[in-house]
Every structure is written in structure tokens, then in C-alpha cells.
Structure 1
Amino acid sequence: MFDALAEKLQETLSDVRGRGTLTEDDVNKAMREIRLALLEADVNFKVVKQFTQTVKERCLGAGVLGQLNPGQQVVKIVNEELTALMGGSSAGITFSPRPPTVVLMAGLQGSGKTTATAKLARHLKEAHGSSVAVAACDVYRPAAVEQLVKVGTQAGAAVYEQGTDKDPVDIARWALDRAKTEGKDVLIVDTSGRLHIDERLMQELKDIRKAVKPHAILLVVDAMTGQDAVNVSEQFAEAVDFDGVVMSKLDGDARGGAALSVKAVTGKPILFASVGEKLDQFEPFHPDRMAQRILGMGDVLSLIEKAEQQFDEDEAKELERKLRRDEFTLEDFLKQLRQIRKMGPLASILGMMPGFAAAQMKGVKVDEKELDRIQAIILAMTPEERRRPELIKGSRRLRIAKGSGTNVQAVNQLVKQFGQMRKLMKQIGRGKMPDLQALMRQAR
């Protein structure tokens, strides 16, 4: 996400950062480049104009030109204004003191609303321990009810549905009564979408809102539609007062114009973002972290949170003990590899690490299939071979290659690189600084 924008902004700010002093002309030139980058990213024209004007005024008015590190100050100002543009501080759903908390999902057909409903249900269940139910009130789109039953069940939510023959308002009212009876913490109501905004859609939303009195109304918009998503948000804001946005398909939007425009245009913050097709690829939207990622500063907090979800503290201590004692095996390596992959695509993980700027990552392809091959090779080994890789010679390597669908060269390379990694860990465990260049030459 934001690939092209991130690359251009980082390139522009890198040039600014590298200057010992800055003139007003330097600032004006940087603002022109930033303006072009934002427009090419499909950011709303009025938003771009206001953003660059504010950044320029702050740069010229804060004495930046005469400061010791003016470039760093400009980057700081751009970061702060990007954060403010996307909403400033993080926001979320406020839970009702008297359950169930009712969340009404709205959006056009094709925006990913039903899938977002299930993803939100899973998120609330996993992150807050909530008992969640979802109500199937989309009775017009073919197979919408069946879809919600499927994904809602996968998300661990109770699915309340009455087919497609009843009125959506009656279904919503019945679902709320059932959620109260069953003691649910949250009820998420999936409403009908349309191919375009019309009076019937808006009236039905108003009727459902009146019937269930939701604590939060979330508008699901498709990031891939760019400024159309912003226009839809603006029209919904005028007709049905919603509380926040769920940005779907943000992982597929390399430009990011919708995410950067929607708060400024509608006044409503992005609360959640869908960053992949899987149900667990859904997360709260943090404007400050996203701004840092766009500017190549990394997103360490999100990286830590993802790691904490996958790694157990006791297991981490045991891993440290094994590394120090040179007892780390291919079995341990396979386990760690699987846990890292659960954190998400490696390209996404690298993007959260400071120093991995967009320009540096351009052209770099993280081959997830290579990780599949490594797993296949290790799984083709016997438990004893995983514990003692030095046993893997001759016929054993041929057997492992055939069993993993690879070749002897791939098996040789994995065994050799694992040996180098163990040697590196052993030296670090003894407090020695290893010769990394020598190790890399040996691993080739």
C-alpha cells in the first residue's frame, strides 16, 4: 500500500534532509514535488492544496531555514501533518456499558462489507475477548446470507439469519432481541448495499438505525476505487451520519488516495483497515504509524504487536537458552519460520522495519515460495536429521530432495546456511563479534 507515494515522498525528503542549509526556494521546490506525489496518488485536490500550504507555512514560520538540521525539521513537519491528515490519533469502537454494543455496517455493493463484518467480529473476539453475533440483513444480493454464515462462522461469531424473505428491519430487530437474550457483548448488523447510492438504500439504513439504535455506524469503502470511495463517503455522511470508516482492500491500493482524503473530506476517521483476504488480515488504523511507514520510518509498534501475538514468552526464553548453548535445531528453525509467517507477508513485515525505504525495496521481491521449499525440505527429514544436520550426507540428501520435491543442491544449500547460522549464534552467545562478511562468503 502507498508504494508509489512512499517512494516519491521519501526521495523528495531525502534530498531535503541531505542539505546543510535550506532556502525558501528549496522549500518551494520540495512542496511542488510533494504536491505532485499526492495528486498522482489520487488524493483529493483540495486536500492536497491545504496540506502543502500548511506544511509550507509551518516550515517557513517555524524558523526552519535557520536551524542546524533544517531537513530533519521539514521531515518532522511532514510526518506530523500526514498524521493529522489521516485523523491524528487512533480511534476505535466505544463499547456500551449495557451490552450488547450494536455496530451497524453500511456501504455500497462490492465494497467488501460482508467480509469486513466477519473480520471485525473476529478482531473484537480476539483483541477484546468479546462474545460476538452478526446479523444477516442483506436480503437482496444473491448468496449474501450464505456468505455471512460461512465467514461469520469461520470468525467464531454466532450468525443470526432468517433467510431472504423477511424485511431487513424486522430481521435486525429480531437479531437484537436474540443477542440480548443470549448475552452477547456485540451485535454487528450487515446491511444491504447497492450498486450506487439511492433513496431506498438510505431510507432502509435509517429504518434499521431507528430499530436497533446502534452505538456505532461504520462505513465500508473500497480503497481500490480511489476518489470514488471518498465521494461515496461524503454522500453517506450527508445522508446517514456514520462514525467511522472501514477501509477495505487497502493492501491492493498502491496509491492510497482514498485513505489520505477521507478524513479531511468527511470529518470521519478511518477506524479499521483490511490489509489482505484472510480474516485475520484486519487491524485498527493508526494514522501516526501509517505516516511513519509512508515516510520510511518503519512501524515498530505494529511489528511488536504482531510478534507478541505469535510468540510466547516462555518459548522465547527457551529459544534463547538453546541459542546460547548451541542446541538450536532445524526443528526449532521450522517452528520459528512458521510463527514469523503467521505475522503476515514478509514484504509487509519488512516495510514495518526502520530503514527499509520504498526506494530500497523497489525491485526487491520476497519469494514466499522459497519459504515453502525450505519447509518442505525440513519436513522431508527424519526427527534425528533435524536434530543433527551433520548426518545429512549422500543418500540421505537424495532421499530428502525427492521427498521435498526439490533437488540435492537445494538441500545442500539449506544445510550449509543453517550451519553458518548456528556458528554465528554460537559466537554471539559467547560475546564475540562475528566476521559477517566471512560468514556470507562461506554460505555461498
Structure 2
Amino acid sequence: MLQGKRILLIIGGGIAAYKSLELIREIRRAGGSATPVLTAGGRQFVTPLSAGALAETKAYTDLFDLTDEAEMGHIQLSRAADLLVVCPATADLLAKMAAGLADDLATTLLLATDKPVLAAPAMNVRMWGHAATVANVATLRSRGVTVLEPDVGPMACGEYGPGRLPEVARMVEAIAAQFAEQTLQGRHILVTAGPTHEPIDPVRYIANRSSGKQGYAIAAALRRLGARVTLVSGPVDLPTPPGVTRVDVETAKQMAAAVEAALPADAAVMVAAVADWSVETAGAKIKKGAGGPPTLELRENPDILATLSRHPRRPKLVVGFAAETNDVIEHAKAKLAKKGCDLIVANDVSGDVMGGDRNLVHLVSASGVETLPEAPKDEVARQLAQHVAGLLNG
């Protein structure tokens, strides 16, 4: 996602600064480079040695370094990068950025740059909600700075609320989004992901092994291309991709209603593993009795893909998924004809694909079959998103 991209990483002073080391590692894993710049506060939590060792480059700290500044180093650093990332962006750093102060190397770089800037805030919940911080964030966003929304959760100070540093995976997604060609700008794309849970009684349900990873990766990849993405998600334990609107559902009927409510859309990518059947739900827990196991009468769930493919407000492009355990391509061709969609993404789930991190898919359409190489699910998502963009843009 970040192949060849040069990130200038400004590490602010806060307990969350330790996550900047993991961010350096993930930027490099994604193909980019990270040059660390530590504020005085940042050096209280992270050492230049640790940041530089992980980045495999010098970590910068001092505005008045005679060697570096002999060549106007602060100008060169800010101009050589493709993107400046502030992590963590403390309330103090955000205030200085908004005011245009330049009293150390970090703030001087931020004022001297002509490159995009992304800030990942981390601070106490009351500091994040303070009118001064709210105004500073609004000012920065009005100037084109990307300020991520902090995560919500417990903090080192013992309080709970918005103010936690965004998770590293979310920050990497946001960084990658800065470089993606916006080929889907202005498009609305609907994505479904995860399983559905069909209740048997108040404590039991019918489900499947879908983790939602592939669907979430596709939603993120489409968002990076500039699309407005609505993600209708079954029950999964995954963070919402940055910039994506998420609608949580549990059952197939709820998912069908949420898909209907999300229309109109330019395209729909139906990744969710929707349960084919449901049962009449018991009002109380079914007890084990002498009569043996209960008989469950199955009834067919709504066929969301087929309904959408024939909908009066049908998206221009409808993509379905086929998770098969045998005769993958043959079953996918049959599903393509039966459902009336434009493309089926088929894969073999007889192994550890459901819940795993890699996938091998076949793109089955009326024009033929294209097989993508086995790859991590985020790479599969990137290629599929590019394919969707190509189809939508003719």
C-alpha cells in the first residue's frame, strides 16, 4: 500500500507515543519508509535510538543541530517527505499547529512543509472535548490537514471516552488513503460483510465461520479510492475502516432491510456470508429433556443478492461472492446465472480461508474467468477495488 512512500513521522509527548514504534514497523512492512522526529515530550516516552533502529535511519530531535542545519535541514526534511504524520498529536501539538508556532524542530517542519499532513490525536477525554481543542481541530481541517477521530476507550489516566490514539492498523489505512488515486470519487458503494446470526432461542443461534476480514478489507480499499462506502456488517470483532459508514445487523432479514435502506448506490459488493435458513425463535431457552433433541424447522431466508440484482433501483454494478468447498468455478458460474449479478468472486473455503488472513479468488463474469494470485486479504481487496473502479468507469 505504501511502496516507495516517504513518511516523516513526528512523535509527540504522550503515553501513547510507544505505539509510534509499531507504526514505524507497519509503515515499513507496507513498503514505505519512516523518518522519526521526536519532540522534547516524545523523548520522555520513546528514545531516538529505538525509533531510529526500527526505522533504520537517523531519528531527528534538535532544531539547532549544527551539522543538519548547515544545509537548512528542517527545510530539506519537510520537503523530501511525501507525507507528514503526527503521532501522537497531543493537545499542545495541535494548538501549535493551528497557531502556526515554530519553536522546535517538529513544529518548524510542520510550518515549513508543502506536503500533506495527517494527525492522529491522543489525549485525555476532557482535553479532546475542550472548546479550544475543538476549534484547533476545525482550523486544521479547514486548512487541509487530515485529523483522525481518536478511538473511544479506557485511558492511562483512568477515565473513559474519546481520546485514545487510533489503532495502528487504522492509522496505516489512513496513511495509505492519502496516496490512493481517487478513481471512485463521488461514487457510493454498498458493501456487506461478516456472517448473520439466526436465533434459535435467546441464547443459541445458527451461524457460520465468516470473520468479516475480506469484506472489511474491501470496504477499506474502496474508501481509499475515494468512494463513499456504506458497510452493512453482521456480528464481527473488527474495527470500522476509516471513513466508512458502518451499519450493524444480526440476522439475514435485518441485513436485507439495511441493504434496501442504503440504496441508491453506484455499486454493491455483497461479501457477507448470509445464512440460507432461519428457524422460528423460541421465547425461552430450550431445555434438554427426556424427549431428545428438539426438531428445528428451517425456513428460507431472503435472497439478498438476487433481490438486489433485480431491484428497481439496482446499482449499476452488483458483485456477489461464492464461498465453495468443491467445484468452485462451476458453482460460481451457476450462481452468476441464477442471481442475475454482474460478477461473482469465488473462493475455496475448505481450508482456513474463513477467519484466515490470505485468500485466492476467481472473478467469474459473462466474459470469462480471471484468477487472482493467492495473497493477503488486503491485497486481494486492493485488486478487487481496482477492478470495481475499472468496471464502473467503463
Shorter-chain TM-score range? 0.3 to 0.5
TM score, norm. by length of structure 2: 0.33
Computing the radius of gyration from Cα coordinates, the structure with the larger value is: 1
Structure with the largest fraction of helix: 1
Structure of greater relative contact order (alpha carbons < 8 Å, 6+ residues apart): 1
Structure with the largest fraction of strand: 2
TM score, norm. by length of structure 1: 0.30
